[in-house]
Structure formats: structure tokens, C-alpha cells
């Protein structure tokens, strides 16, 4: 690998080496490569599993490519992606800008106390851990074992942090920034970043800040501080995703105030698009879809069963009406969010095996969960099972999507390098709702359309 000689290229090289957790620029986990565009050259960092010859082919492409770091996706990125896909298969591509932080950057005036690892013993912050930090990470942070930090305190609560996510070298240091969602817009992130700069800056050491193209708040921080765009980076990876609770992690991240990129929804046909952002599942009643606002008050009776509860929006709304409700989800992270938000009875369980310890008077299958069974037969079986454990005066509220393709489809959610297990989903056509419900122990009371979405209120037959 060529050894860049300019200070900016050295900085970019150091940044990429940190990202791979190695200092030769190679990541043994990466089936692909990292591509970095600086102002004076392109840098290529191959993954440890990249087939022979592919790195050379990518270098041949970028050596003649123009260098314009203002372009978020230059043509050569698509050319490299096509070449890599032919060699290693379908890719995930992540990208973002890299900014230089000048040592004389000016801090804004803010209405909060700014403290740093150089001015305040970490033990003084021992009991002020924001919920987005795990206990062990927080202890390492305030002890400065993760590097220097600066924080903003408001009413003695930690509301913004600028820290050092990767090792500092004599030549370069990078910062990471977090601000509590309630306190965003107060320029606290800018103030903590400047305070961090003052304790990290040293002769010969370049400071920088990198982010994701989708992270608008972070890019706004760079703009407010007037940071200079130093370069851009792209990661191309064909590695298999780890299987885990991706959706639960996204909900937990949003609940803790961590930046959440839009999760991806993948079909078993290979299509990938945006899933719903977790923020939607934390909205108050007056911001719900109109059919939810129309139907849920008609089903406000208990005990209630919320299957596929997500972040607990419906369960919490019912609790506030004084209704006893049980929230069930197959995602451990979702159940944890429900509990942390105050759902009194939140359970981790199989959604197709609903609890029968109550005679439910209201049952909810929201956010597409009418097709929870995954197939026509399994969904009819679930409705029949629910009618068997429901009270005689029970109601059921459910919604689904009118399909443009096959009604039965395999889905999974991808988020931050993790994917949920595949699950079967039935998207029920509008004209087939009556046939789906017939003979399951329910009758249709209302059927509301806002295509492609549609929702039903069913009554116990």
C-alpha cells in the first residue's frame, strides 16, 4: 500500500486505521474495502478477505478519478461498487464526510456549565450517567481511560458530551459528540467540542470530526463551527450480517438519545428500502395515523392485549385511560423499552402464541400486524386462537398493507450491522379481508382505507 506523505493524507490514513481497529489499514472482518477521498489523492484500504486482484482493479479506477470532496457520491464510487459486487456479491455501502477542527475554533456562549477531564475529577460525575451509556463504559469514560472528554452540565445533569472514541496518536485525534435530545439546539455540542479541542490540541497533532451522510445533526454541528471539509469516506462490505435483535436495538438507541439512522427493510426477493424510523413509535396519540386515532378509542376497554407492542405507544395510551393492558413483543429490546417507559406488564414472547391468562376484552394488532401469522392459513389460525381467549364483548383492532406483489413475503430489518431473523409476513389485500375473518370467531364492524394502508375493527362473534 502506498504511504501518503501530505499531512491531510496522513490524517485520513490514521482515521481509517482507527476505524478498522488495526494500524495497517486492514480489517480482517471486512469483505470489501474502504475508500477515502482527500484533497490530494484517493486512498484505498482493502479488507482482509478481499480476493486477489480486486484491490488493484479499484486502484486503477481511482487513480484517474477526479478528486472533489464536495461530491457526496462521485461517479467512481458507483464504478467501484459495480466492480466489487461482481467480485464479492451484494454490498452495503456506508459513507460520510471528514472535517478538520482548527485549534483556534471559537466556542459559543451557552447557558450550561462546561467541564473537562482536565478540570473535574471524574468521580464527581459517577452518579450522573446518561442512559445511553452503559455502566462500565461510563466508568471508563469519566476515568479518562477512553481519552480526554468535555461535558455540558445543566441542573447538574450531563446533557452533552464530546469524547475521544479512538486512540490518540502524536499526529491525530478524533472526537465523538452526543447531546441529549431535549437539549439539542442550544449549541451545547459545539461548546463541548471546542472545550475538548483545547485539552487535546498539541503541536503537530491534527484534530478532526467524522460522521455519517445521514446524520444531519452532526453535519449541522460542523457547519456551525465552520469546520473545513477534509475528505470523504466510503465503506463497501459484502460480509454476512450478524443475526440479532436489530429492531430492538434501534428502539433502545432512540429511547436513550443515541443517533439512529433509518433502519432498512429487506425482502426475501432482495429489495432493500427504508423501514419506519423508531421515532414514529414514540409519538403521542395526536400524531398517530388517523385510522389509529379513529379506532383505538372505540376499543378502549380492558383487560387489553397489545401484540407486537414495539415501544409501547398503544399500551401506554391505554394505561393512561386507566385500562389494564399486557404488552407482548418478540423483540427483547422492544420489551425493555416498554418497561423503561412505564408499561406495567410487558412480556417477551412468541406473538403467534398469545397469552391466555386473561379473558381479553380488547386486542391490538397494529403496525401491519393483522398479517402476523405470515401466511393465510396461519393468520386465520391466529384470529381463531384470539377469539377463543377473548371475552364475549371483545373487540380487535388491526391494520395491514394492500400488497402490490405477492401477499406472503419474507422480511427482516437491518440496523447498524445487525439483521433480525427473517419472518413471514402476510399483507392482506383489501378485497380479501372479509374472507380472512369469516369463520374465525370475529365479525367486521369497521374497515377503514387509506391505501395502501387499511385497518379493521372486529367484534367477537
Q: What is the DSSP string of 230-291?
A: EEEEEEEE-PPPEES-HHHHHHHHHHHT---PPPEEEETTS-EEE---GGGGG--GGGS-HH
What local confidence, expressed as pLDDT, does residue 39 receive?
Answer: 76
Can you say how many angstroms the Cα of residue 419 is from the centroid of all Cα atoms in its chain? 11
Closest CA to 130 of 113, 142, 120: 142
Residue range(s) occupied by CATH 3.40.630.30 in the chain: 105-200
Q: Is the pLDDT of residue 168 over 90?
A: no
199, with CB counted inside 10 A (0-12, 13-18, 19+), is middle
pLDDT in tens, 96-137: 999 989 888 988 889 899 999 998 876 688 888 888 888 888
Contact 312, 338 (CB under 8 A): yes
Residue range(s) occupied by CATH 3.40.50.150 in the chain: 278-460
DSSP 422: P
Q: Is the pLDDT of residue 75 over 70?
A: yes
What local confidence, expressed as pLDDT, does residue 400 receive?
Answer: 96
User: What average pLDDT does this structure show over 212-223?
Assistant: 89
Site of grid cell 432482495: 270
Residue range 278-460 forms a domain whose CATH class is alpha beta
Contact 365, 440 (CB under 8 A): no
What local confidence, expressed as pLDDT, does residue 11 receive?
Answer: 56
Q: How confident is the model at residue 81 (pLDDT cuts 50, 70, 90)?
A: very high
C-alpha span between 407 and 274 (Å, rounded): 19
Per the structure block, which three cell numbers stand in for 29?
472482518
What local confidence, expressed as pLDDT, does residue 448 receive?
Answer: 96
Residue range 105-200 forms a domain whose CATH class is alpha beta
Which residue did the predictor score with more confidence, 261 or 447?
Answer: 447
306, β-bridge pairs: 327, 364
Pairing of strands 264-267, 92-101: unpaired
Q: Is the pTM of this model over 0.75?
A: yes
Q: How confident is the model at residue 9 (pLDDT cuts 50, 70, 90)?
A: low
Share of residues in the chain with pLDDT > 90 (%): 61
pLDDT in tens, 270-307: 888 889 999 999 999 999 999 999 999 999 998 999 99
Give whole-number Cα distances, 252 to 53, 132, 264, 338, 403, in Å.
Answer: 42, 9, 16, 10, 30
Amino acid at each position: 500500500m502506498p504511504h501518503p506523505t501530505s499531512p491531510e493524507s496522513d490524517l485520513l490514513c490514521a482515521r481509517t486505521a482507527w476505524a478498522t481497529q488495526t494500524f495497517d489499514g486492514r480489517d480482517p472482518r471486512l469483505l470489501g474495502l474502504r475508500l477515502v477521498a482527500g484533497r490530494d489523492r484517493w486512498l484505498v484500504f482493502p479488507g482482509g478477505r478481499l480476493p486477489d486482484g480486486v484491490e488493484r482493479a479499484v486502484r486503477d479506477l481511482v487513480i484517474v478519478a477526479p478528486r472533489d470532496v464536495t461530491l457526496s457520491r462521485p461517479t467512481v464510487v458507483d464504478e467501484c461498487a459495480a466492480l466489487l459486487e461482481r467480485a464479492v456479491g451484494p454490498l452495503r455501502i456506508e459513507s460520510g464526510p471528514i472535517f478538520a477542527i482548527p485549534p483556534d475554533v471559537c466556542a459559543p456562549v451557552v447557558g450550561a456549565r462546561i467541564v473537562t477531564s482536565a478540570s473535574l475529577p471524574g468521580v464527581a460525575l459517577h452518579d450522573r450517567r446518561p442512559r445511553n451509556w452503559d455502566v462500565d463504559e461510563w466508568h471508563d469514560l469519566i476515568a479518562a481511560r477512553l481519552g480526554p472528554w468535555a461535558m455540558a452540565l445543566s441542573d447538574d445533569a450531563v446533557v452533552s458530551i464530546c469524547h475521544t472514541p479512538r486512540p490518540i496518536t502524536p499526529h491525530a485525534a478524533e472526537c465523538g459528540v452526543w447531546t441529549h435530545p431535549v437539549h439539542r439546539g442550544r449549541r451545547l455540542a459545539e461548546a463541548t467540542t471546542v472545550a475538548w479541542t483545547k485539552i487535546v490540541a498539541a503541536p503537530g497533532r491534527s484534530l478532526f470530526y467524522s460522521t455519517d451522510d445521514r446524520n444531519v445533526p452532526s453535519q449541522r454541528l460542523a457547519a456551525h463551527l465552520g469546520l473545513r471539509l477534509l475528505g470523504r469516506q466510503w465503506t463497501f462490505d459484502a460480509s454476512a450480517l450478524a443475526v440479532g435483535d436489530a429492531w430492538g436495538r434501534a428502539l433502545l438507541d432512540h429511547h436513550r438519545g443515541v443517533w439512529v439512522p433509518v433502519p432498512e427493510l429487506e425482502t426475501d426477493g432482495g429489495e432493500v428500502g427504508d423501514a419506519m424510523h423508531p421515532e414514529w413509535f414514540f409519538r403521542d396519540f395526536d400524531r398517530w395515523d388517523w385510522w389509529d386515532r379513529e379506532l383505538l378509542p372505540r376499543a378502549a376497554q380492558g383487560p387489553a392485549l397489545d401484540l407486537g407492542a414495539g415501544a409501547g405507544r398503544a399500551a401506554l395510551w391505554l394505561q393512561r385511560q386507566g385500562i389494564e393492558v399486557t404488552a407482548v413483543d418478540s423483540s427483547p429490546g422492544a420489551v425493555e423499552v416498554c418497561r423503561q417507559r412505564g408499561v406495567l406488564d410487558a412480556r417477551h414472547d412468541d406473538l403467534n402464541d398469545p397469552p391466555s391468562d386473561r379473558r381479553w376484552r380488547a386486542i391490538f394488532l397494529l403496525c401491519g400486524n393483522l398479517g402476523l401469522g405470515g401466511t393465510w392459513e396461519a393468520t386465520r389460525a391466529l384470529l381463531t386462537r384470539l377469539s377463543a381467549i377473548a371475552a364475549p364483548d371483545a373487540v380487535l383492532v388491526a391494520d395491514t398493507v394492500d400488497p402490490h406483489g405477492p401477499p406472503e413475503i419474507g422480511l427482516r430489518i437491518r440496523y447498524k450491522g445487525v439483521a433480525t431473523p427473517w419472518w413471514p409476513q402476510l399483507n392482506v389485500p383489501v378485497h380479501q379481508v372479509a374472507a380472512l375473518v369469516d369463520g374465525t370467531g370475529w365479525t367486521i364492524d369497521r374497515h377503514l382505507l387509506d391505501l395502501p394502508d387499511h385497518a379493521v375493527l372486529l367484534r367477537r362473534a
